[in-house]
Amino acid sequence: MRTSLLFGIVLVALVACGQEEPAQPAVDQPQVVDDAVIEEATEAPEIVEEAETVVVEESASEPAADEQAILLAQADVPAETREWQFREGEHFTRLVPTQPTVGGADKIEVSEFFWYGCPHCYTFEPAINNWVENRKPANVRFVRIPATWNRLLVLHARLYYTEEILARNGSIENPDEFRNAVFEEYHRRGNRLTSEGSIQTLFERFGVSADEFTRTWNSFEVDQKMRVASDLARRYSIASVPAIIVNGKYRTGVAEVGSNQKWLELVDELIVRESAR
């Protein structure tokens, strides 16, 4: 009995962030491995054609010829002659063709794919929050997109979008505090949030009534956001988290650069590339 308990604790300590379908014990807890790069899921997420994303092709976000000339004239060094710190194929992957984004072409979109149960996402959270607060350029829109490649992740993705809507409506006063509480619940308190009931209890701690939670959890808006998340993950070929996509064109991961600091420097550089087009 003691050996079985020890084996279970070791499995929990090695949480993975990849696309393997977890084993489903009595509490529906995912199996974990230690490799950030994983094989494709045996079941691809359902893609619903009516998901209303905004397709941002390269041509749609490029300035007119006269505007582009003005933009390049203002740059310290022309983009085509600049010596970049990071290289395509080594530090980031270019998506061809450019894929849709959540928002429109008015801003460069930086999206982070994540999962609340991923330890790498948990340790990256303070760094990305600091980047958003202190370094994100005014011409950039930052969005989070939850991964959805197995049943537990689908449950946590619905948690995230329910949280997002309730925060927008003012029912959750401090979204950052709530999001941190979800991470802490999973990684520090051992609550894997494997059921709708356990998730509702967490929302109630933040003053959300049972009726409001249920209404939002089952809403069409949450369903629509879930479909978009699954569609974009497929289009971007997201196989592990955390992952960052810049403007539907560049996919990056921390493994390609070695540290969170370098990773965010890479994101900054990709934004400059897009701004100088």
CATH number of the domain within which 92 lies: 3.40.30.10
State the residue range of the domain holding 219. Answer: 39-275
Domain count, the chain: 1
The reported pTM is 0.74
Residue keyed to tokens 């079985």: 4
More confident residue, 179 or 8: 179
Rounded to the nearest angstrom, the gap between the alpha carbon of residue 257 and the centroid of all alpha carbons in its chain is 18
Q: What is the mean pLDDT of residues 36-46?
A: 40
63: number of Cβ within 10 Å: 12
8 within some domain: no
| Percentage of the chain exceeding pLDDT 70 | 72
261-271 confidence digits (pLDDT tens): 999 999 999 99
17 within some domain: no
Counting other chains too, the contacts that 132-138 makes at CB distance below 8 Å and 24 or more residues apart are 135/264, 135/268, 136/110, 137/108, 137/271, 137/275
Name 220's Cβ contacts closer than 8 Å, sequence gap at least 6.
none
167 within some domain: yes
22 within some domain: no
More confident residue, 204 or 12: 204
194 within some domain: yes
58 within some domain: yes
**Residue whose C-alpha is closest to residue 146's, from 205, 198, 193, 92:** 193
26 within some domain: no
79-113 confidence digits (pLDDT tens): 556 789 999 999 999 999 999 999 999 999 999 99
